[in-house]
Structure 1
Amino acid sequence: MEQAKDHYLSKKQDPSLKLFVVLSKAYRAVSDQVAKDIRSHGLNTTDFAVMELLYHQGEQPLQKIGDKILLASGSITYVVDKLEKKDLVKRKPCPEDRRITYALLTEQGQKLLYDIFPEHWKQIEAITAGLNETEKREAIQLLKQLGRYADEFANNEL
C-alpha cells in the first residue's frame, strides 16, 4: 500500500495527466463556441467542415474528404447526401476513373460560405483571443509536435 502511494505521489509530479486534462478542457471550450457559431448559420460542424474544405481546396474525391476532416468514410456519404439535398454540394464523376467521385460546392454553397466565412473567422479570432499572436504560434508548434509524437507512438505500438 505504501509503495502504491509513493508511486502515485511521484506520478503526481509528472505533468502528463494535467496536460491531457487541460488540453481536453481547452479543446472542449473552444470547440463548443465554434459549434455554436456554426449552428447560428443553420449548419452542423460536420456539414460546415466538408463545405469549408471544398470552399478552400476545391473539389475533392469523396474517399479523401474523411481523412482531411477526420470523419469515417460511411459518414461522408451521409453528409454529402444531406448537403446535396440542400443544393449546397454536388457530386461529379471522375472522367478517367469510374471508381472516383468528386464532391464540389454548388453556386449556392459557394455563396453561403462566402457570406458566412468572414464572420465565422472573426468569431474564431474572438474565441482564441486569450492568446496573443506569438502564443498562438507557439501553441500551434507544440500541439503539432505532440500530435506527431502520439501518431508515431501509435504506429510503433502495432
Structure 2
Amino acid sequence: MRSYTEEELQDALDLFRVFARAFKSVSEHSIRDSKEHGFNPTEFAVLELLFTKGPQKLQQLGSRLLLVSGNVTYVIDKLEKNGYIYREQDPKDKRSIYAKLTEKGDAYLHEIYPIHAIRIARAFSGLNAEEKAELKALLKKAGHHSQHLLFR
C-alpha cells in the first residue's frame, strides 16, 4: 500500500467532508420532492429509473440503485400494490422478471417528473455549464477509481 503524507491525508479527508456535505444538500431536494408526492426516496428512485430508462430486471434495479435484494422486493411490492408498477416475466428467460410502469405510473411520472427535474436543476444552478460538465467528469473518475480499489 502506498504511503501518504499528512498533507495528502488531510486533503483527502477535507475533500470527503466537502463531497458528503454537498451530496447531502443536493439530495435533500430530491428527498423533499419524493415526500411531497407521497413516496420515500427509494420508491421515487425506482419510479424515476423506470420512467427514464424503461423496464428493468429486478436484479438490475438493486445494483443500479445500490439496494440489497430485500429492499428491492419490499419497494417493488409496495409500488405494485399502489398500482404504479407491475412485474412481467421475460418470455425468453423465465428466471428473469422485469419491473414496468403501469399506465397509472407512467401518467403520474409524466405529470411530476418535469417539476422534479426543475428542482434538481435549481440545486445545481450555482454552477455554469462548463463547471457542471467538469464536476460530472471528476465525480465519474473518482467513482470509477474508488470502485476499482474495492475489488483489487
User: Same fold per TM (> 0.5)?
Assistant: yes
What is the aligned partner in structure 1 of residue 43 from structure 2? 47
Q: Does 1:11 align with 2:27?
A: no
User: Aligned-residue CA RMSD in angstroms?
Assistant: 1.3
What is the aligned partner in structure 1 of residue 107 from structure 2? 111
Q: Using the TM superposition, name which of 24-33 and 114-123 deviates more.
A: 24-33
Q: Does 1:30 align with 2:34?
A: no
Shift of residue 12, structure 1, vs aligned partner: 4.3
What is the aligned partner in structure 2 of residue 151 from structure 1? 147
State how far apart, in whole Å, the 1-side matches of 2:70 and 2:7 are. 42
What is the aligned partner in structure 2 of residue 67 from structure 1? 63
Give the counterpart letter for 1:11 in structure 2. Answer: E
Q: Using the TM superposition, name which of 113-122 and 27-36 deviates more.
A: 27-36
State how far apart, in whole Å, the 2-side matches of 1:33 and 1:101 are. 32
SS state at 1:123 partner: helix
TM-score computed with the length of structure 2 as normaliser: 0.92
What is the aligned partner in structure 2 of residue 3 from structure 1? none
What is the aligned partner in structure 1 of residue 78 from structure 2? 82
SS state at 1:104 partner: strand
What is the aligned partner in structure 2 of residue 6 from structure 1? none
Shift of residue 96, structure 1, vs aligned partner: 2.1
Shift of residue 33, structure 1, vs aligned partner: 2.1
TM-score computed with the length of structure 1 as normaliser: 0.88
Segments of structure 1 that go 5 or more residues without pairing to the other structure are 1-9
Q: Does 1:128 align with 2:124?
A: yes
Q: Taking every aligned residue pair, what percent have the same amino acid on both sides?
A: 41
Shift of residue 154, structure 1, vs aligned partner: 1.1
What is the aligned partner in structure 2 of residue 98 from structure 1? 94
User: Which structure 1 residue ranges, 4+ long, deviate > 6 Å from structure 2?
Assistant: none
Shift of residue 15, structure 1, vs aligned partner: 1.2
Give the counterpart letter for 1:101 in structure 2. Answer: I
The one-character-per-residue Cα deviations of 1:41-75 (angstroms, maximum 9, x if unpaired) are: 11111111111111112111111111111111111
Aligned residues: 147
Larger Rg: 1
What is the aligned partner in structure 2 of residue 7 from structure 1? none
State how far apart, in whole Å, the 1-side matches of 2:129 and 2:38 are. 30
